[in-house]
Amino acid sequence: MTNVNLKQAAERFYEKISQKKYAKATMRNYRQRIHALLRFCDSNGFNSFNYEEAEIYSRWLKERVDREKIKDKYAAFLRSLALSFADFNSLSSDAQDDYFFVPHRTFISSCNTLNENNRKVYDEFTTYLSGIYAPASFRGYLVIVSPLLHYLEDNSIPLSGITPEVIRKYFVFIAPTRPNSMEDVVFGIRVFLRFLTEHSYISWSVEMMSFRIPPSRKKVPVAFSDSEIQQVIKSIDTSCAAGKRDYAIIIMSLFTGLRSVDIRNLKLSDIDWEKDSIHLIQHKTNRELIIPLLPVVGNATADYILNGRPESNEPYVFLSHGRRSTGEPMGEGTIINRMRIYLKESGVKKHGFDGKDFHALRKTFATNLLLSGTPLESVASALGDAGVQAAKPYLALDDDNLRLCCPEKMAHPCRKEGLDA
């Protein structure tokens, strides 16, 4: 029988997770994993669950991965949840009231375990970011800054003691855990240092703000060919409700460039059928976007709403068709996972991290606009981006126009130069 206090702690922990307002399917998943964690505690006779127990649990998960009982990605999710639960249990009762659920990354970095002064700075930084970025954007900055604050605590360095040398050593410390995203870390730390400067925690320094990471090789965006798109569309069974939904979603992304999160959150009231337009606030940028509702998009969406959408009080256009969640909002990964299924069924070749996924539909939309002669500024506007920088990578896919940029070789004759020239 699970220890009563541990079970009560798990219930309070679950309540804190529910404040994140995840989809019902996601919350069901969290509850199941917490129950699995409690069963592990029960089988091992644990009366509490702190970092020591979390380490034992992590080793047990690794053994199951090694025996191919579970996948590594699933084990990482369970490990992250266990560390967050250990965070929660490490706090006093009063501190638990203010607990804010943050999924773990590589090491203990939850904002909840910061000391009082650093937590105050963390909260001020959160308020600072909320006035500049959309919630989905500034959450990444918080994940970057929290480990830095822990690093300062562990090394007894006050905020006023931050120097270029301290930041340099921190980059060396954090680099092994962020092998593919150090550029994001440097940018995030720079934003945090600017905040500290504006709030008089540190003095402004050119050297402090000039850290750079060696430029990485930029990947050319991946777009689907016309034949690949046709293969995917043909693999969708539009005779069933879920197929009508998936077809409408893919067509909408292909002809509007909307991200999966914006399609998932699209409300019935966002579509103006009389003016043939879609009006929404983008989740990533928090910017207003008005796009035309093309006939092919409108027809597919109307077909789903009239002939496939389950009866529901939910305001969203596209709903779940799961066995236990019909009529509820779709889960965060539903659209992406459905696209992966169609890619596999259609025979479209996908290799590792080649970028051929649902987001490639947005890239296909942008590429097709450029190939049709649409100015870069208009492409950026259609994508809902603030400037042309985000649209520039798509120029690499316009082979015909890129060839026009190459000068004729004979127009610039070479000559021999050197000591004997």
Whether 258 contacts 271, CB under 8 Å: no
> What are the phi and psi torsion angles at 76 (to 5°)?
-65, -40
pLDDT for 107: 41
Q: To 10 degrees, the CA torsion angle through 272, 277, 281, 287? A: -150
Domain identity same for 286 and 370: yes
Q: Report CA-CA distances (Å) from 263 to 24, 63, 95, 115.
A: 18, 40, 38, 40
Say how far apart CA 21 and CA 60 lie, in whole Å: 30
Tokens standing for residue 319: 């709903």
pTM: 0.57
pLDDT at residue 381, rounded to an integer: 79
pLDDT at 419: 53
Question: HSE of 341 in the Cβ direction (CA atoms, 13 Å)?
Answer: 14
Claim to verify: residue 260 and residue 396 sit in the same structural domain: yes
CA angle 95, 101, 106 (to 5 degrees): 110
Q: Is residue 346 part of a domain?
A: yes
Give the structural domain span for 374: 226-404
Q: What is the pLDDT of residues 369-383, one digit of tens each?
A: 877 777 777 877 788
Positions in the chain short of pLDDT 70: 1-2, 102-113, 134-137, 213-221, 351-354, 386-421
Query: Are residue 89 and residue 131 in the same domain, yes or no?
Result: no
Domain count, the chain: 3
**Do 92 and 123 belong to one domain?**
no
412: in domain: no
CATH number of the domain that residue 157 is part of? 1.10.150
Answer yes or no: do 208 and 350 share one domain: no
pLDDT value for 348 = 86
